[in-house]
């Protein structure tokens, strides 16, 4: 006879508690939920397998082991899963921007922070403060400051932060409508080979 399925929840909790010392502020809540879910699955699967092969008593121990393993795996895997979902979400936005951006018109280009901030005065008055604050957020090491007027009438400001590893970089974006409202902001991170490795909403 299979032991009560509700015991899987307790075994999942054991897996989560076993990872308590590894908690971090970022994604903690999501990691706990994900860990609980995978722990419950692992606990129930172990329970079923142990009971089937060795009897009900052994099934309880197998369930406990499955819950702990499932909880640990879930906690370790959660940040990667969330990051992948985040990349998919922002990639969809970027793809949409590419379609919207047909016929983009460059309205500002500068190689340094100082030149970029000085050039902001030539932009439409409604967007000047947002663009200037965006550029001021970069350090003097940032390069490739630019603003484009997109095909949909909005403006896309961007700047590049060279990475600590030669060849790597992060590009920061801010989309602003003609009235000066920020619509979105995000960052793309590239490795030294030029591969996009991460996209994050800001």
**Residue 123 shares a structural domain with residue 162:** yes
**Residue 120 shares a structural domain with residue 165:** yes
Can you give the pLDDT at residue 25?
38
**Residue 126 shares a structural domain with residue 195:** yes
**Residue 118 shares a structural domain with residue 194:** yes
Residue 27 has pLDDT above 70, yes or no: no
Classify residue 37: in a domain, yes or no. yes
**Residue 186 shares a structural domain with residue 110:** yes
Question: Which one has a higher pLDDT value, 20 or 29?
Answer: 29
Q: Tell me: the pLDDT tens digits for 87-143?
A: 555 555 555 554 445 568 999 999 999 999 999 999 999 999 999 999 999 999 999
Select from 96, 128, 158 the last residue of a domain. 96
**Residue 90 shares a structural domain with residue 113:** no
Host domain of residue 35: 7-96
Q: Write down the mean pLDDT value for the chain.
A: 75
Classify residue 2: in a domain, yes or no. no
- Considering only CA atoms, which of 108, 160, 112, 152 is closest in space to residue 131? 108
From the number of C-beta atoms within 10 Å of its C-beta (0-12, 13-18, 19+), residue 187 rates as middle
Classify residue 172: in a domain, yes or no. yes
CA-based Rg of the chain, rounded to a whole angstrom? 25
Residue 18 has pLDDT above 50, yes or no: no
Select from 38, 63, 96 the last residue of a domain. 96
**Residue 109 shares a structural domain with residue 196:** yes
Q: Tell me: the pLDDT tens digits for 29-47?
A: 555 565 666 666 666 666 6
Classify residue 156: in a domain, yes or no. yes
Half-sphere exposure in the Cβ direction for 81 (13 Å, CA): 13
């Amino acid at each position: 006879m299979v032991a009560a399925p509700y015991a899987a929840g307790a075994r999942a909790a054991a897996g989560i508690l076993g990872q308590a010392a590894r908690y971090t502020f970022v994604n903690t809540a999501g990691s706990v939920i994900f860990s609980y879910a995978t722990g419950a699955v692992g606990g129930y699967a172990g329970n079923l397998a142990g009971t089937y092969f060795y009897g009900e008593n052994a099934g309880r121990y197998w369930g406990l082991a499955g819950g702990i393993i499932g909880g640990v795996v879930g906690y370790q895997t959660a940040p990667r899963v969330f990051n992948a979902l985040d990349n998919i979400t922002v990639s969809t936005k970027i793809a949409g921007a590419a379609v919207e951006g047909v016929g983009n018109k460059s309205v500002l280009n500068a190689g340094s922070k100082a030149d970029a901030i000085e050039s902001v005065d030539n932009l439409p008055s409604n967007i000047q403060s947002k663009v200037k604050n965006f550029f001021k957020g970069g350090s003097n090491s940032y390069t490739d400051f630019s603003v484009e007027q997109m095909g949909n009438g909005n403006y896309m400001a961007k700047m590049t932060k060279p990475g600590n590893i030669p060849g790597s970089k992060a590009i920061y974006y801010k989309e602003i409508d003609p009235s000066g409202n920020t619509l979105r902001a995000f960052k793309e991170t590239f490795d030294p080979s030029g591969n996009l490795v991460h996209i994050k909403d800001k």
